[in-house]
Chain A
Amino acid sequence: MKHLLSTQDLSARSALRLLDTAEEMAAVGEREIKKLPALRGRTVVNLFFEDSTRTRISFEAAAKRLSADVINFAAKGSSVSKGESLKDTAQTLEAMSADAVVIRHPASGAPARLAASGWIDAAVVNAGDGTHEHPTQALLDAFTLRRHWARIAGTPSAGTTLAGMKVLIVGDVLHSRVARSNVWLLTTLGAEVLLAGPPTLLPVGVGSWPCRVFYNLDDALAERPDAVMMLRLQAERMNAAFFPSTREYSRRWGFDDGRLALLDTMGLDDTVIMHPGPMNRGLEISSAAADSPRSTVLAQVRNGVSVRMAALYLLLSGDPQDDDAADGRADQDDPPATTPEGRTP
């Protein structure tokens, strides 16, 4: 694995390896010394052309826990506001010998462009591009769901998939890169994905996605999902009249106190409520739902650091000449001839 650009082209094997590695990273986050020397001397650049709080902080914490040096670059207050192109910015980072670039960009496909263009040698991690993908968010959601699923089953979560799980994603799917990344990843991991939202906020061609679509939230809840993921209403991308009023949206598509009580009356004791943040409290999710014991919002943030540590570790460690073979070969029982002590790692 050289780059992490999308979850659509992530194999089940690679996804599981990321989640299992994240499981060990989470154990590090629970000890007194939360630092590993694995990426000592490597440089990770956070290249953010769009605002972000938790993703940037999460990547920064992840890189620092692995002992990498972190350079934060926000487009505001940089030469980008003077009109510098992505290419020139990238080549500046290359000249500073960045080993990994974590990029968030308002244009879909910008990270893929950066990875494929040959402007830089660094590993590229997509931290959200336009309305395309946000792979590390989907991975942390999958990690949170897998831990929840394993806790219900009473088994350890490492090595398991999401087979048999039913996940409902609600709201503004049209503008949501989180929804897209989750649809691909959760399906790859064996979960069944349901989408619910107003027709104006579902993308053209959603019928070809590997999921069922509902145009009424209560019908979708009647399917008894194991997790309900509320999407943020992206006001900054609302350039047309997608729905009559925020009050109507909140009534029909918000996870309000009534729907929270409905989960209890339906006997869905193990159904969790997820939100990628930042939340519009009172709009797509009520405060009671956001703060209820069912809410995994804070667990998602905590797991984000572990998942991003796993992604950075798997991208940046290992022989760079060998990255195609690397995915899985280290797990085999036949170590390279030069491995000290002649045994598997």
Chain B
Amino acid sequence: MTVPASESGIHKRVVLAEADIDRALTRIAHEILEANKGSRDLVLLGIPRRGFPLAQRLAQKIAAVDPTVDPDLITGQLDVTMYRDDLRRHPTRSPLATQLPPSGIDDKVVVLVDDVLYSGRTIRAGLDALADLGRPRAVRLAVLVDRGHRELPIRADHVGKNLPTSSQERVRVHLAEIDLIGGSPVDEVVIEDRA
């Protein structure tokens, strides 16, 4: 499905639609439970901005499988802004909130959740941020899209979709919680190509 953008020369291709995202998250939720042998000690930390709604959705799906889980009590947000290695290369970034679940992260199994895995630098920053907050028993990584082009020895444990891309392309994730397009909430993953 190719939709040429009207005003510029950017071509936009939808690679995951709403139903695809939902199916991918359902599978990841089951994978997380399987890898952890249940929901014990699980904490899902989303990396802002779009990792956080993804973590919330995963927690909902985990709670749907295991009714003993309260999704709000296992979800949190981890801001990595102050730990990035490229602070000097971009306009100043405003830090966002870090919110941990009330149980904390010590001796928990923390699953970092992000929308797109690319260079791996955000996750590196996330691991440093975690170390300042506590000492989890294990840290795993779940991403909606893995687009390759890693610059650090980091891999995801749970991947919604592997998306081979060229570094000229841009992968954009739109989530209904955050993104309004034309006034209505949208769930989709698109590849934009500057052709």
Contact = CB atoms under 8 A, between A and B. Distances in A.
B108 interface: no
Interface stretch (A30-38, A224-232, A276-284): A30-38
A340 B121 contact: yes
A341 B91 contact: no
Interface stretch (A164-172, A253-261, A315-323): A315-323
Interface stretch (A3-11, A105-113, A211-219, A324-332): A324-332
B98 A342 contact: no
Contacts of B133: 31, 33
Interface string B149-193: 001000000000000000000111100000000000000000000
B39 interface: no
Interface stretch (A17-25, A54-62, A233-241): A17-25
Contacts of A17: 94
Contacts of B151: 340
Interface stretch (B26-34, B66-74, B82-90): B82-90
A340 B83 contact: no
A318 B87 CA distance: 5
From B122, B132, B173, name the one whose CB has the most chain A CB atoms within 10 angstroms: B132
A327 B86 CA distance: 17
A319 B116 contact: no
B92 A341 contact: no
Given A322-B91, A325-B91, A37 B116 contact: no
B173 to A, nearest CB: 7
Interface string A128-162: 00000000000000000000000000000010000
A317 B83 CA distance: 12
B82 A330 contact: no
Given A325-B91, A339-B90, A341-B117, A37 B97 contact: no
From B81, B133, B151, name the one whose CB has the most chain A CB atoms within 10 angstroms: B81
B170 A319 contact: no
Contact of B92 (A33, A158, A318, A344): A318
A340 B118 contact: yes
A314 B93 CA distance: 8
Interface string B101-115: 000000000000011
Given A31-B133, A36-B83, A38-B87, A343 B93 contact: no
B90 A345 contact: yes
Contacts of B96: 24
Interface in A33-47: 33, 35-38
B49 to A, nearest CB: 6
Contacts of A36: 82-83, 132
Interface string A107-131: 0000000000000000000000000
Contact of A21 (B95, B115, B147): B95
Contact of A342 (B88, B89, B92, B116): B116
Interface residues of A, number: 40
B173 A24 contact: no
B90 A342 contact: no
Contact of A345 (B81, B97, B173): B81
Contacts of A325: 91
A17 B88 CA distance: 19
A314 B92 contact: yes
Interface string B126-151: 00100011000000000000010001
Nearest to B149: A340
B97 A27 contact: yes
Contacts of B171: 341-343
Contacts of A203: none
B50 interface: yes
B25 to A, nearest CB: 17
A336 interface: yes
Nearest to A329: B91
Contact of A326 (B92, B115, B172): B92
A330 B92 contact: yes
A144 B79 CA distance: 24
Contact of A38 (B50, B82, B117, B121): B82
B116 A21 contact: no
Given A25-B95, A340-B119, A341-B122, 10 more contacts: A317-B87, A317-B88, A317-B92, A318-B91, A318-B92, A325-B91, A330-B93, A330-B94, A341-B117, A343-B50
16 contacts: A24-B97, A31-B133, A38-B87, A317-B93, A318-B88, A319-B88, A326-B91, A330-B93, A330-B94, A331-B94, A336-B91, A340-B122, A341-B116, A342-B170, A342-B172, A343-B115
Interface of B: 49-50, 79, 81-83, 86-98, 114-119, 121-122, 128, 132-133, 147, 151, 170-173
The 7 closest A-B pairs by CB, nearest first: A318-B92, A326-B91, A341-B118, A340-B119, A36-B82, A342-B170, A38-B82
